[in-house]
Amino acid sequence: MFSSSVTDSLNLIFDADDTLWDSNIHFLEAFDSFAAAVENSGLGLSRVKIHDAVRRAELHLIKSLGYGRRPYVMALHHAAQELAPSDASLRVEIERIGTCLIDRDCALLPDVEPTLRELSQRHRLLMFTKGQRDEQLQKLARSGLGPLFDRVETPREKDVDAYRQLVRDADLNPSDTFMIGNSPRSDINPAVRAGLRAVYIPHPHTWELEHEEIAEADGMIIELTSFRRLVEVF
């Protein structure tokens, strides 16, 4: 494990959704509301078929629009067109679901604010998170944490090339840089493959497509049970 006795300033890169604040639980609840509306339409569609239709639409739209709440609402509309093309009331319900999803505040996870404020006094903090940039900046502004971050990047995907680009653009030394997040697929494995170190903080509602086996990394990855423990490590 990385020694907490090192006093030099480090670069700490943070994911946002489900690392700093709750996010995916809102999508899960939006899907539950959509599925209930479809099930109540009397078409006899199974929840599995509803889920598959939304997932197909979601993955298709991600290719052109990226990740975010507005693209997800569009995916619900696409799924409704496939599953119940003549049900006008379902469109009305999607508009209600979408308004709730888009306007919903993302509550900070336990201990995030005091931990970031303490870490910012001795390290450089950056944010590197997927999602539509205006949406993510709005969530950051609502959180009140924006001034703590030296740089905020919102790439389309967080793959190895994206991390290498961040290293160049932000003038980072990989050996002094840690990526901190909840997603093995986007936060941990590609960061380590790009030469960074990583801190994995699991979240119970991490999006299923972000699950992945943690790579073998010869001590390059730390796993913590809580966000607050970052002050012990750094």
| pLDDT tens column, 102-152 | 999 899 999 999 999 999 999 999 999 999 999 999 999 999 999 999 999
CATH of 11-22+106-233 among 3.30.420.10, 3.90.1420.10, 3.40.225.10, 3.40.50.1000: 3.40.50.1000
pLDDT < 50 regions, the chain: 1-6
Q: What angle separates helix 24-39 from helix 69-83, to the nearest 10 degrees?
A: 20
Query: Judging by DSSP bridges, how do beta strands 151-153 and 177-181 pair with one another?
Result: unpaired
Instruction: Give the per-residue pLDDT at 142.
Output: 93
Provide the Cα torsion 179, 182, 188, 191; round to 10°: -40
Q: How far apart are CA 201 and CA 182, in angstroms?
A: 5
- Domain span(s) for CATH 1.10.150 in the chain: 24-103
E strand or H helix at 77: helix 69-83
Q: What is the DSSP string of 13-33?
A: EE--BTTTB--HHHHHHHHHH
Domain boundaries 24-103, CATH class: mainly alpha
Rg (CA), the chain: 19
**Token digits for 105?**
């505040």
- Domain span(s) for CATH 3.40.50.1000 in the chain: 11-22+106-233
Q: What angle separates helix 69-83 from helix 47-65, to the nearest 10 degrees?
A: 130
Q: For the full predicted model, state whether its pTM sits above 0.85.
A: yes
Instruction: Give the per-residue pLDDT at 107.
Output: 92
Q: How far apart are CA 213 and CA 215, in angstroms?
A: 6
Instruction: Give the per-residue pLDDT at 1.
Output: 42
